[in-house]
A = this chain, B = another copy of it.
Amino acid sequence: MKICLINPNTTAAMTQKAASAARAVVSDDTQVIASNPAMGPESIEGFYDEVFSVPGLIEEIKKNSDADAYVLACFDDTGLDAARCCTERPVVAIGEAAYHLASMIGAKFGVVTTLSRSVAALEHNLIKYGLMARCSGVRASDVPVLELESITADGASNPAYDKICAEIEAAIKIDKAESIVLGCAGMADLPERLSREFSVPVVDGVAAAARMAESLAALGLTTSKIGAYAAPGAKQYSGIMRPFQP
């Protein structure tokens, strides 16, 4: 099986980090190819950046039309609805994947993201998915996306890491979160360390989405084409399809 992971921003280091996170969790016989648009924003922080990343994201889907499933590796789930219009193959975004899986391992999950300007976009998504009902709150750590790179694997003291930890602690103690969702693709290398530190499950959306996309493809499930995700320009179904003949 071939999964195409698309990072909708242009920072290749993030694309590689996400690809590694995905490859670490899929089955041996699943190939993960990863790409990002050549042009567009370096990171996606809020509504404005989303706009300029989506045309490139759609382009990448079209270029990789032989994939069995797609992963959109931006936690805002940027361009998800449009991407689903372009292909019958399953498309999974990393925010939704993380929320869905976190719903199955605790009563409530907390989300810790980067900048406060991104909070509203994540909340809109949670409401649209229905999963705000399971979320104890979305907290901003005020660590810009690109500053996440300063966190090193050796666990050295680091202000960006400390800010994230402070919000996780607040999510658990104040908001009563039972698990934590990390709200940025750039945090894909942190779940293990944070989970050990806080004794709660910590979900990274990239790994989650890779497994969900692989699962949908393995199950033979495709994107429905009779409504919201009809192909552009396709004949209108209007909810009417081939009459049922028992």
Interface residues of A (CB under 8 A from B): 25, 27, 45-52, 54-55, 58, 79, 81-82, 84-86, 90, 92, 96, 100-101, 103-108, 115-117, 119-121, 123-124, 127-134, 140, 142, 144, 157, 161-162, 165-166, 168-169, 172-173, 176, 178-179, 192, 197-201, 203, 207-208, 211-212, 214-216, 218-230, 232, 236-242, 244, 246
Contact = CB atoms under 8 A, between A and B. Distances in A.
A201 B241 CA distance: 13
Contact of A47 (B81, B100, B104): B81
Given A47-B82, A107-B228, A116-B239, 11 more contacts: A48-B232, A90-B104, A117-B228, A130-B131, A142-B236, A165-B246, A169-B244, A178-B224, A178-B226, A179-B224, A199-B225
A75 to B, nearest CB: 15
Contacts of A225: 199
B134 A129 contact: yes
Number of copies: 6
A130 B88 CA distance: 26
A118 to B, nearest CB: 8
A223 B102 CA distance: 9
Contacts of A208: 215, 219
